[in-house]
Structure 1
Amino acid sequence: MGEHDTSALPEARPHSFADDVYGLATGSLLMAIGLTLMKAAGIVTAGMGGVALLLSYLFPVTVDVAFWLLNLPFFVLAWSALGRAYFVKSVAAVALVSIWLAVTRLCVSIDSIEPAFAAVAGGTASGAGILAMLRHRTGVGGVTILSMWLQKKRGWSVGWMSFALDAAIIIAAIIAIPSEKAIYSILSVAAVSGILIAWHKPGRYTGY
């Protein structure tokens, strides 16, 4: 049998409802933990989570509230372009991330954290959470929903598209926050996108 012979693998099965629930719950928690680490370090990151962090530094608004409000317009795209099931899961995912962010804000207090660690660990945790939810066909924010739509329509990589869209967020961060924080923010974006580029590829995952 060849090294890449898959003839012995069982037939792929779709995720069950319980699989989806658990995937969304754990993925959203990982994302919230990552954003919490980055919030403690005063940096931003990829996607709507990064925009929510940036707004929390500029205005008297919490990350959880900003994340929910920012994503409301993109639910329309999820409904019209990606289907009702994707829309429902996307609303659930964004709501869960917002809830977990509120819970961690109330339950976790971080007095000191190195920005480099927050960028790598927080970005990796957020990326893993996004990946978990994408595996269950769920958008976790405006950037991801738009990237998934472009992948469906044009076959473009979710990871590379997310990276390109996030560049605009980092440009805004460079203008709005201290330069050293912006550098660490770039590192966090690379950590998030690296997870998606490495593991979110069409045809690689079969449901197991």
Structure 2
Amino acid sequence: MSENRFLAGIVSSTSESHSALEDAQGIIAGSMLACLGVMVLKAGGLLTGGTAGLAFLLTYATALDFGLAFFIVNLPFYYFAWKRLGLKFTLKTFVAVALTSVLTAVVPDFISIGETDPLVGALFGGVLVGAALLILFRHSASLGGFGILALYLQDRFGWKAGYVQLMLDGCVLLLSFFVATPFIIACSVAGAVVINLVLAINHRRDRYIAM
């Protein structure tokens, strides 16, 4: 009987909650799309905001692989995720970040993306990353980043999360001038706008309540 209940917990879902199997599928699918988005952005020599932007900066400034850089820069943010959003969200996010890091290191050996126009790469890469985040958000996960820290600081000190996020992304943008041209940075900003448009238009909790 207990075994049946255990199996039911893995595969059963409701209109308001995903099953463990559905969460696993969502995290894997989101990580795969994120990997492809990163590959397209990298093929265009582009950057982006958040911890992914920091990882790109480290990749362009050093010989460090993006996957490893992305995993490392996200490590400090798990504490804030646990304090603000709970253990379940933190664990799912850790898995999503780790899987995305591994995929971005391994998949280029099997899928090759050639020379890419920066603006086109920004648009297509932005859509892919935005779709990846959309899937992960709907399964109570994320790809880490400044948003978690911004929410924590808002709770802890009353600082507006939006302003904190803007300030941190602005710092990444300023650092970008050391490794990229103004045109590449402009295209990168366009890609970031696309990512946020995908999320803003498609991610509404009153339309999609399952978590």
**TM-score, with normalisation over the residues of structure 2?**
0.82
Counterpart residue type for residue 19 of structure 2? S
Q: Which moved more, 1:30-39 or 1:175-184?
A: 175-184
> How many pairs align?
196
Render the CA deviation track for 1:181-200: whole Å, top value 9, x for unaligned: 11111111111111122222
Q: Tell me what 2:133 maps to.
A: 130
For the 8 Å contact 2:47–2:57, the answer to whether it is kept is yes
Q: Distance in 1 between matches of 2:128 and 2:85?
A: 26
What amino acid maps onto 2:109 in structure 1? L
* Contact kept in structure 1, 2:84 and 2:151, CA below 8 Å: no
Query: Partners of 1:107 and 1:161 in 2: how far apart?
Result: 39
Structure-1 separation of matches of 2:164 and 2:128: 20
Counterpart pick for 2:194 among 191, 194, 202: 191
Matches for 1:44-193 after TM superposition, within 5 Å: 44-146=47-149, 165-193=168-196
TM-score if structure 1 supplies the norm length?
A: 0.83
The AA in structure 2 aligned to 1:170 is L
1:120 and 1:161 mapped to 2: Cα distance? 26
Q: How far off its partner does 1:151 sit?
A: 8.7
Residue pair 2:93, 2:141 contacting (<8 A) in 1 also: yes
Aligned-pair identity in percent equals 31
The whole-number CA distance in structure 2 between the counterparts of 1:148 and 1:134 is: 15
Secondary structure of 1:113's counterpart equals coil
Shift of 1:180: 1.4
1:139–1:145: 8 Å Cα contact kept in structure 2? Answer: no
The aligned amino acid for 2:66 is V
Cα drift, residue 135 of structure 1: 0.9
Structure 1 gaps, min length 5? 1-10
Shift of 1:152: 8.4
CA distance in 2, matches of 1:104, 1:27: 15
Q: Which amino acid aligns with 2:98?
A: A
For the residues of structure 2 that align with 1:105 and 1:175, how far apart are their CA atoms? 26
- Give the root-mean-square deviation of aligned CA atoms: 2.5
Q: Which runs of 5+ in 2 are unaligned?
A: 1-13
Distance of 1:188 and 1:180 partners within structure 2 = 12
- Relative to structure 1, is the Cα distance of residues 128 and 149 closer, same or farther in structure 2, using a 3 angstrom cutoff? farther
Contact 2:52 2:145 in 1 (8 A): no
Q: Secondary structure at the match of 2:170?
A: helix
- Tell me how far apart the structure 2 counterparts of residues 88 and 183 of structure 1 sit (CA, whole Å): 34
Alignment check: 8 A CA contact 1:32 1:100 kept: yes
1:142-172 CA-to-partner distances (Å, cap 9, x unmatched) read: 2243356579898x888x9756643332222
How many angstroms apart in 2 are the aligned matches of 1:124 and 1:147? 24
2:44 to 41, 50, 75: 41
Q: In structure 2, do the counterparts of structure 1 residues 144 and 136 end up closer, same or farther at CA, with 3 Å as the change threshold?
A: farther
